[in-house]
Amino acid sequence: MIRKNSAAPVRPPHERGTWRAFMLALVMHVLLGFFLYHGIHWQNSTPAGAEAELWTAVPDTPTPRPAPPPPQPVAPAPPVPDEQADIALQEKKRQQQEAARQAQLAEQQRQKLQAQQEAEAKRQQQLAQQQAAELAAQKAATLKQKQQADKLKQQQLAEQQKQEQLKQQKDEQQKEAQQAKAEAQKKADAEKAAQAKAAQAQAQAKKLDTERRARLAQMQGMAGGEGSTGEGLAKSGTGSGAGGNAASAGYAEKVQRRVRPNIVWAGDTQGLETVVAVRCSPTGTLLSATITRASSNPQWDDAALRAVQRSDPMPLDTNGKTPASFTITLRPAG
C-alpha cells in the first residue's frame, strides 16, 4: 500500500518497553554513580602505616626470644571536604555528560530513524511513480494495440467492402452484358420480324399491285380499250401524264413535288429509269401503282414504286379532280 505524503512531520513509531528501558537505565546510572563514588573515596583514603623489623641471622642459642609487640591501630584520615565536593562536581558533570551523550544518541537515533523513514517514504514515492509510469506505459501500449487492432479491422472492412464493390460491379457488368445480349437478341429478333413483316408487306403490296393491275386491265377492257400515255420529268425523278381526263400543264410539277420527297435511294444513279403507271380516284386516292417499264436495277425499281405508294393521295388538278390514270417516269437524282 502506498502511503501518501502529509503535511505532518514524520515521527518515529512508538516502541514497546520504552519506560521499562528508561527505568533500567536510571537504576544502572544510580548504581554506577554509587560504585564510582565509593571507589574514588576508597582510593583517596590514607593507607595505614606499617612497621617492619630487620633481623640478622644469629646462631641458634637456647636463649628465648621475646614476643613482638602488637601493631598499633592506624586511625583513618578524616575525609577532605574539598575532595568530596570535587568528586560530587565531577560526578554531576559526568552525569550531565552522560545525559548529554544519551540525548545525543537519542537525537542521532531519532535522526537516523527519521532519515530511514524519509528514505522509505522517498522509496515508496519512487516506487509509486515507477508503478504509475509502468501503468501509464501499459495503458499506452494497450491503447496502441487497440488502435492497431481497430486500424487493421478498418482495413479489413475496407478491403471487404472493396471486394464486395468489385463483385457488385462484376455482377452489374455481367447483368448489363446479359441485358445487352438480350437487347441485341431482341433487336435482332425485331429486325428479323421487321424484315419478315417488310417481306410480307412487299409480297402483299405485289399481290395488291397484281390485283390492281388486273382490275385496271378489266376496267380498261370495259372502257373499250381506252388507254393513257404520258411523259415523265427527266432529272427530277417524278413525272406525270394524262389519261382519259387531260391534265393541266402544271399538274406534272405538282406530282413532282409530291413524289420527290418520298424517294429513298443511296445507290448508283447512272442509267436508271423506271416508269410507273398509276390509277387514281377523282379525289386523288391511289387505286393502283404498277411498274410498266423496269430498269436494270430491281432495288431502284422497288424504291421508285414505294415512293409512288407513299405519295397517296395524289394532288388535285386545277379542275379540283385528279386524273383517272397517268404514268410517272422516275429517275434517281444525280
> pLDDT tens digits, residue range 155-204?
998 898 888 888 888 888 888 888 878 877 887 777 777 677 666 666 66
Lowest mean pLDDT among 17-26, 139-148, 193-202: 193-202
Mean pLDDT, range 78-106, rounded to an integer = 81
Those residues whose C-beta lies under 8 Å from the C-beta of residue 311, and which sit 6 or more positions away, are 255, 258, 259, 262, 286
pLDDT tens for each residue of 261-301: 898 888 887 888 899 999 999 999 999 999 999 988 899 99
Those residues whose C-beta lies under 8 Å from the C-beta of residue 42, and which sit 6 or more positions away, are none
Contact 12, 113 (CB under 8 A): yes
DSSP 250: T
Q: For the chain, give every domain's residue range.
A: 81-186, 208-330
> What is the structure's pLDDT at 290?
92
> What is the structure's pLDDT at 124?
92
Contact 274, 296 (CB under 8 A): no
> What is the structure's pLDDT at 191?
72
pLDDT tens for each residue of 197-251: 666 666 666 666 666 655 555 444 433 333 333 333 333 333 433 334 567 888 8
> What is the structure's pLDDT at 61?
55
In the block, cell 560530587 appears at 88
CB neighbours (10 Å) of residue 137?
10
Q: Which CATH number fits domain 208-330: 2.40.160, 2.120.10, 3.90.550, 3.30.1150?
A: 3.30.1150
Query: What span, in angstroms and rounded, lies between the C-alpha atoms of 319 and 263?
Result: 28
The gap from C-alpha 102 to its chain's centroid, in whole angstroms, comes to: 76
Those residues whose C-beta lies under 8 Å from the C-beta of residue 87, and which sit 6 or more positions away, are 37, 40, 41
Q: Is the pLDDT of residue 58 over 60?
A: no
Q: Is 124 exposed, middle or buried (0-12, 13-18, 19+ CB in 10 A)?
A: middle
Contact 327, 229 (CB under 8 A): yes
For the record, the C-alpha cell of 229 comes out as: 400515255
In the block, cell 644469629 appears at 58
pTM: 0.31
pLDDT band at residue 260 under the 50/70/90 scheme: confident
